[in-house]
A and B are shown apart, each in its own frame.
Chain A
Amino acid sequence: MTTAERSARVTTAEARNLPALLQSLHEKDFTGTVRISGSPGGTIHLRGGLIAAVETPGAPTATSALLTSGRIDDETWLAACAAQRDTDRLGGHLVAAGLIGAAELEVVCTAAVFDAAFAMAIGPPGGWTLDDPEPTLVAGAGVEPRRLTEETTRRITRLSGPWGAPGELARVRPVPVPDAGLRRGLSDRHRSVLATVNGRRTARDIAFTLGRGLYAVMLDLTRLEAQEFIRWETGGASESRPSTAPRVLPGGGAPDRPPTRTGPAGSAATAGPLPRRTPGGTAWPGRSPARESPRAGQDPVGEGDALPAETSGGHGDS
């Protein structure tokens, strides 16, 4: 075991939550991977203590954003991957080949880091484990953990509204108001979001469909709803349905099992009953009883906050 590995093990055992862990790893110039369990869970890639990339099933990656939007077509992408097999260096190859500008790639990758962090933060917190570095698309130096935490907190605050916490808004399946598409005064971006709203897609589904960030899509949805282009679906899908399948760490048990070091959220999770289906129950959390009486295991305001500093996180069993 190297000094860095021993150091990381001590760090992860001492950290009280994920922001504290990332800050501590930043101070140790840690290079490696932090795997987060839970729903949606994810992987945080650190290079020299800075967050180079974050991947989660809850939000499109930088690669997905580039390909889905058509910024780089599939064939060109595959050719680039074949020419540069080291994924960490793929970004440099894309720039050198003139497929994208260095600054633009940096924008795409940075946006994906913050968006993935937000997507993980609005889900129930899980545990974490440290691992060796894994190849991933990177551009630029990376993001300081403190900045990532502050921005994630800002985003959660921004999207907390009459509907409750952002995690509840993410489960809503909006429906278009009749003839909304015929109305004037809508930007092309909002019109593209409106075109994907069909009463079945969640914000995450729309984000993946458009290759856009989850937070950006959720912001656009709130603005469309405020202008009465869409309305929140009431009835239909169960409000307890997660938008992504829970991620289980290798060797771990149930994804939402309480962490070894149990925080307030973890304690509550053990006490809660199993979720029940509610036929015909309201899907819009702002009008559901869950707002007044949050489900056990969920924080009513900062629901599932893997990153915000005020939360307790997982455990450190690397």
Chain B
Amino acid sequence: MVAALLEAHSIDPSSLIDDQTLVAETLAGRHEAFGTLVERYDRAVYHLAYRTLRDQEEARDAAQEAFFKAYRSLRTFKPGAKFSTWIFAIVYHACCDRLARRKRYSNEELPERADTAAGPESEAIASDEARRLRAAIAQLPEKYRTVITLYHLQGRQYDEIAQVLGVPMGTVKTHLFRAKEQLRRILNEQTAGARP
């Protein structure tokens, strides 16, 4: 009956299962359940990695590394926790490691090694304003980029962002406020510069 209803409304049954059940099923040996988790979060995880690292190849590697680590240490996942917070924290730390390595091997400041290209396909078709906004976000320091990405682009709550970054909630709010200030300044300077 339920299956027939789902089929009639073309609903994927796996989309109804919550993350914790999928984790439990993976631990019980049904490894396909982890595939559903990958389907749910690969885009968001890649996006966070790309915003933090500003390099498509590195973002891809970081996303893959994060899921690999999550899969290997799934037993350490606390039953009451949110899978999204956990996987975001893993990918964020993987990105921090990569940024630290990048800094060690070059004399440049962290945010300077930027992939200033517009990004994957979606940016090619995005409007000029959206492209300008993305480019402005890319100019922000790493901590501000990450907060903007998690809050505005992925719709995460303050407390979840605080857990991902491992900072107090007040710091998240401060970062967000400063990020928006800087962003507005960058965008308005561009606008002022473009006017005759």
Are A and B genuine complex partners?
A: no
